[in-house]
Chains A and B, each alone.
Chain A
Amino acid sequence: MRDVAVVAFTQAKSVRAERDLNETEILIPVIHDIKRGAGLETKDIDFVCSGSSDYLAGQSFAFVSGLDAIGAWPPVSESHVEMDGAWALYEAWVKIQTGHADTALVYGFGKPSMGDLSRTLALQLDPYCVVPLWPDAVSVAALQARLCLEGGVLSEREMAEVAVRDRGKGKSNPYAQVTGDFDVDALLAEPTFVSPLRRHDCSPISDGASAMIIAAGDRARDLAERPAWIRGLEHIVEPQDLGIRDLTTSRSTQIAADRAAVGKDKIDVAEVCGPFTHQSILVERALGLGESVDVNPSGGALSAHPLMAAGLTRIGEASKRIWDGSADRAVAHATSGPCLQQNLVCVLEGA
């Protein structure tokens, strides 16, 4: 395998509803900043890959106008996944492994405020048997939380502690959306939103985008003082049907973490994409994170959750800790689908 590293990352500030800009317009300054920051022009980049969802935009081929944001002229070698940008990173990493590219620009973007996100996500379920019931995304997650609580896997207090932790750390992240100092007891005194979930258990709905540049070997060393080397990059999907998998663990995260050798050495920083507090706990356990790990220094998905970019952003945030030397070894996680159906794990190292 070729050595490949994350050398640049930028993101838009997450907002609940970006009223003045469309998806492409959110993306343009992000792409502009990352290219300028890295000192690269489009022609210097061998491969481009993006992640987004037509259903968020409510339009077929919504990603096509992303080509305007990157300035795809002369024409570029380019691909797109209908997945979080973290999987676009995976495709780009594979492309570099084939030897057909040395550098790649990866981006993810989404504007869920265009519709009713929780209902839109219901359309990910079995179209014949489940979707006619319109189980919205928060209710589906609530079922999972209920299973976890009744199974004694975790407690409402532990869930609230995740919200307090992440939103407290999010205060130092200028791109985050919902941050601040909260008190666990006060949160637990709040009424439930979709039982057993309270408002603080749910990630915000965020419009946003992020972009990353990765490069192989010496090219990476040229572009970054201390590149964040990708030492493990694995992803696994589970069957979707909620009745045929154990919703109180994240087996796919576990398998991906094993393959990425997360446990091989000490982890300093973890960036976990948990759209709901109980999901964050399940992922943290599946990753096997120890007490000393700094989890979600960026505030995680509970502080900002730009769907289709949030997973890529976790990898970008973990890379930043490698670049600034505050971590030697970090793990980042991305998720997709109802109840943590699909998970990606990325191990980054400074050496």
Chain B
Amino acid sequence: MAERCGIVGIGQTKHDSKRLDVSMVGLVREAALRALEDAELTWKDIDAVVIGKAPDLFEGVMMPELYLADALGGAYKPMLRVHTAGSVGGSTGIVAASLVEAGVHDRVLAVAFEKQSESNAMWALSIAMPFSVATVAGAGGFFAPLIRGYMRRSGAPEDTGIRVAVKDRLNALKNPYAHLHMEDISFDLVAASPMLWDPVRYLETCPSSDGACAMVFASEKLAEQTQTPPAWVHATAMRSEPTMFSGRDQVMPQASLDNAKALYKQAGITNPRKEIDCAEMYVPFSWFEPMWCEGMLFAEPNEGWKMTYEGATALDGDLPVNMSGGVLSSNPIGASGLLRFAEAALQVRGQAGEHQVDGARKALGHAYGGGSQYFSTWIVSSDKP
């Protein structure tokens, strides 16, 4: 049924808090051109463009894909715009891959971006709507209680989050595209940083970034012709559940667990901890590393923190997590999911440079969004499915 789909080009921008040197067009083209160059293709080789980003209020442009279509080589081609909250980058990759898997197109360009400096995400997330409670606390205010809930039920040591923050910032030093390059990162520095949303400290939080990521997807026949071997898409999954209702487990949402099971079933994976070589997961606040280690079934319930604590998720651990430095080191929100997916593909293509995991052949890309309610994931491999 589904055709095989290979990732043949990957590109990203240098992420920074304010990319004032480029317009939105300049930003997305920087990533797209790098992906095309990696794929040894030009704009005319692309059949369709899929654009993803988080809320339009983050830039102040309504449906900006209409304005960007031309700059992304989309003129007189099909163009889709995906928006599934914070998971959107992942969903963008999945939709682009599905166009190839469906046999609709041979080559598809996916681009996801956010240029947070154009507007103010904190404002955009805090607009008071009639008849609804405004949290006016941004994402951190929303997620802090969920983290506290995890700490209580797991009994994890209080410094687990600090360890994640240090590890990811150390990994970021090996990634030239990462927004944060903190040469002086240390346990003490993170521990001493101000408490923003108890229990989340300033340095346990992602930055606000401008940035973009792009990928080129190709059908099996075309993917086989590339110089650098492609990353093959083995499985994709998306799951969503409502934001709140009585009895919902917001700490470990059913949608995460269902998503993981569906993904592994499609990929033929029975022991994810063993069979997956590395994982790039959406960790905007440090504690979400142990939480998603459980949410992706790498660890038993309430034991995900042990993976962090014992160094299993370090670059030289048995299941490295967030080799690129992760969302904690670069967070162009709409692009963050696709960056996770791209890092998984870079790893299995052996293109990850200094943050390459030796011998990585099968990798997980993971994104989540909304109130821990949207999940999109994929498994890519250097081997054909």
Contacts and interface: CB of A to CB of B under 8 A. Distances in A.
B331 interface: no
B1 A99 contact: yes
Interface string A83-120: 10001001100110111100000000000000000001
B46 interface: no
B124 A68 contact: no
A94 B50 CA distance: 13
Given A77-B237, A94-B104, A341 B66 contact: yes
Interface stretch (A121-129, A217-225, A272-280): A121-129
Given A128-B23, A240-B66, A77 B238 contact: yes
Interface in A37-59: 48, 53-55, 57-59
A64 B62 CA distance: 17
Interface string B227-261: 00000000001111111010000000111001100
Place the interface of chain B in its size category.
35 or more
Interface string A49-87: 000011101111101110110001111111111110001
B100 to A, nearest CB: 9
Contacts of A205: none
Residue among B101, B127, B242 having the largest count of chain A Cβ atoms under 10 Å: B242
Interface stretch (B33-41, B81-89, B146-154, B183-191): B81-89
B95 A91 contact: yes
Contact of A55 (B57, B101, B239, B254): B57
Contacts of A57: 129
A121 B245 CA distance: 34
Given A54-B55, A76-B240, A237 B69 contact: yes
A337 interface: yes
A55 B63 contact: yes
Contacts of B129: 57-59
**Residue picked from A68, A82, A342, most chain B C-beta under 10 Å:** A82
B94 to A, nearest CB: 8
Nearest to A100: B2
Contact of B241 (A67, A121, A125, A128): A67
Contacts of B269: none
Contacts of B62: 53, 55, 120-121, 123-124
Contacts, number: 183
Contacts of A341: 66, 69
Q: How many of chain A's residues touch chain B, expressed as a range?
A: 35 or more
Given A68-B242, A97-B102, A337-B63, A80 B82 contact: yes
Interface in A218-235: 234-235
Contacts of B258: 74-75
Interface string A229-255: 000001111111100100000011001
B91 A79 contact: yes
A83 B85 contact: no
Nearest to B66: A337
B264 to A, nearest CB: 15
B58 interface: yes
A189 interface: no
B303 interface: no
B55 A237 contact: no
Interface in B130-153: 130-131
Given A82-B56, A127-B60, 16 more contacts: A1-B103, A60-B127, A61-B55, A67-B373, A78-B240, A79-B94, A82-B63, A87-B81, A97-B103, A97-B104, A98-B98, A99-B1, A124-B67, A125-B67, A237-B74, A239-B69
25 contacts: A53-B62, A59-B57, A60-B54, A60-B58, A67-B241, A72-B241, A74-B254, A77-B262, A79-B82, A82-B65, A82-B83, A83-B80, A94-B98, A94-B99, A126-B67, A127-B67, A128-B23, A237-B75, A237-B76, A238-B76, A240-B66, A240-B70, A337-B66, A341-B69, A342-B66
Interface of A: 1, 22, 48, 53-55, 57-61, 63-65, 67-68, 72-83, 87, 90-91, 94-95, 97-100, 120-121, 123-128, 131, 234-241, 244, 251-252, 255, 336-338, 341-342
